[in-house]
Amino acid sequence: MGIFIEDLLHFGNLIDNEVEVEIEKEAFKKTFPSLDFEFDEGVVKIKGKKRFLIFPKKFEFRGREESNKVFNEREGDELKDFGVYLKMLSPDGLEELTKDKHFKKEGEYLKLSILDVFKNTEIYQKVPKQFRDKLEITKYKVKRGKFSIFLTVVK
């Protein structure tokens, strides 16, 4: 984490370089309190409950990692959003997920906004304010129990 801060303070060190930032499950839980995220080798499982008549019914959406399939949305110089695409393996609960602004179905992919999750991490709090709008996601990785994003700084 210290290297990340030092690189940001020396702005030029991160241009054209990537830094891996591991996002803990707690940050996902803070952003999505009604959902549970599980990370397995290359697979993200999102579990929750949906209403079926008057009874709650459990669902489990499964999406496969597509490590280089990411998005960055900007409005001028301001960072609006960034996130990842998950290839749908099991669309169970997709209708429930897409009611939330952080999820969107695009073809055979689930577009998952990660910016608000990243904002709930300690690392984001340590990023100097003048660099927060210059961050950009380049790829992501899903490992057993871990979700990592790779960030770079744009001019």
Q: Whole-model pTM?
A: 0.85
Contact (CB, 8 A) for 21 and 124: no
Residue 147's closest CA among 48, 67, 79?
Answer: 67
Residue 65: partners with Cβ closer than 8 Å, 6 or more residues away: 42, 43, 44, 86, 87, 140, 141, 142
Query: For the chain, which residues make up each domain, given as ranges?
Result: 2-153
Q: What is the mean pLDDT of residues 77-103?
A: 94
Q: What is the mean pLDDT of residues 124-132?
A: 86
Q: pLDDT category, 62, cuts 50, 70, 90?
A: very high
* Residue 100, phi then psi, degrees to nearest 5: -90, 140
- Total count of residues recorded for the chain: 155
Task: Give the burial class of 145: count Cβ atoms within 10 A of its Cβ; 0-12 exposed, 13-18 middle, 19 or more buried.
Answer: exposed
Q: What is the mean pLDDT of residues 92-107?
A: 95
pLDDT digits (tens, 9 = 90+) for 29-60: 999 999 999 999 999 999 999 877 778 889 99
